[in-house]
Amino acid sequence: MAKTVEKTAKVKKKNLVIVESPAKAKTIKKYLGTGYEVVASMGHLRDLPKSQLGIDLSDNFEPKYITIRGKGDLISKLKKDAKNSAKIYLATDPDREGEAISWHLATLLDIDTEDECRITFNEITKNAVKDAVKNPRKIDEKLVDAQQARRVLDRIVGYQLSPLLWKKVKKGLSAGRVQSVATKLIVDREREINAFSEEEYWTIDVKLTDQKGKKPFVAKFYGKNAKTKMKLSDENTASEVTLKLKESEYTVDKVVRSQKKRYSAPPFTTSTLQQEAARKLNFTTKRTMATAQQLYEGITLKSGGSVGLITYMRTDSLRISLEAQSECRKYIGETFGEKYVPSKPKFYRSKKTAQDAHEAIRPTSMLYDPEKIKDSLKADQYKLYKLIWNRFLASQMTDAVVDTVQADIKGRDFVLKASGSDVKFDGFMAVYVEGKDFAEEKEGKIPPIQEGDVLLVKDVDPKQHFTQPPARYTEASLVKKMEEDGIGRPSTYAPTITTITSRGYVAREGKALYPTELGNLVTGLMEEYFEDIVDVEFTANMEEKLDGVEDGKTQWREVIGEFYTPFSKTLENAETEIGKIEVKDEVSDVPCEKCGRMMVYKQGRFGKFLACPGYPECKNTKSIVEAINAKCPKCGGSVQVKKSKKGATYYTCEKGTDCLLSWDEPTLMSCPECGGTLMKKRAFKGRGPIKYVCFNENCDYIETPSKTKKK
Q: Give the active site residues.
A: 312
The angle at the Cα of 140, spanning 134 to 141, to the nearest 5 degrees, equals 155
Residue 259 β-bridge partners: 403
Q: Decide the pairing of beta strands 607-611 and 621-623.
A: antiparallel
Q: What is d(CA 621, CA 592) in angstroms, rounded to the nearest whole number?
A: 8
Q: How many angstroms separate the Cα of 556 from the Cα of each of 147, 148, 157, 549, 562?
A: 9, 8, 16, 6, 10
Q: Report how far residue 17's alpha carbon sits from residue 686's, in angstroms, rounded to the nearest whole number.
A: 36
> Of all helices (H) and strands (E), which one includes residue 461?
strand 454-466
Task: Report which of 71, 158, 143, 60 is spatially closest to residue 108, judged by C-alpha positions.
Answer: 71
Q: Residue 61 CB: number of other CB atoms within 10 A?
A: 20
Q: Which residues contact 8 (CB under 8 A, 6 or more apart)?
A: none
Dihedral pair phi/psi, residue 238, rounded to 5°: -65, -40
Which residue, 536, 461, 645, is CA-closest to 189?
536
Phi, psi of 670 (to 5 degrees): -105, 150
| β pairing state of 626-631 and 62-63 | unpaired
Largest CA distance in the chain: 130
Nearest to 363 by CA among 324, 334, 335: 324
Distance CA(625)–CA(612), nearest Å, equals: 16
Closest C-alpha among 381, 393, 151 to residue 289 = 381
Residue 268 bridge partners (DSSP): 361
Task: Using only the alpha carbons of the chain, give its radius of gyration.
Answer: 32
Rounded-to-integer distance, Cα 97 and Cα 140, Å: 12
First-to-last alpha carbon distance for the chain, in angstroms, is: 80
- Are 15 and 134 a contacting pair, CB within 8 Å? no
Return d(Cα 287, Cα 29) in angstroms, integer. Answer: 27
Return the closest-CA partner of residue 173 out of 563, 465, 560, 603: 603
* Cis check: omega of the bond before 616, within 30 degrees of 0: yes
Are 417 and 408 in contact, with CB atoms under 8 Å apart?
yes
Strands 88-90 and 15-19: what pairing?
parallel
8 Å CB contact between 199 and 457:
no
Whole-angstrom distance, CA of residue 484 vs CA of residue 537: 11
- CA dihedral 377→379→385→389, nearest 10 degrees, is 100
Nearest CA to 132 out of 183, 94, 160, 81 is that of 94
Q: Is the dihedral of CA 564, 565, 567, 573 positive or negative?
A: positive
Instruction: Return the bridge partners of 256, or none.
Output: 406
Judge whether 676 and 694 are in contact, CB under 8 Å: yes
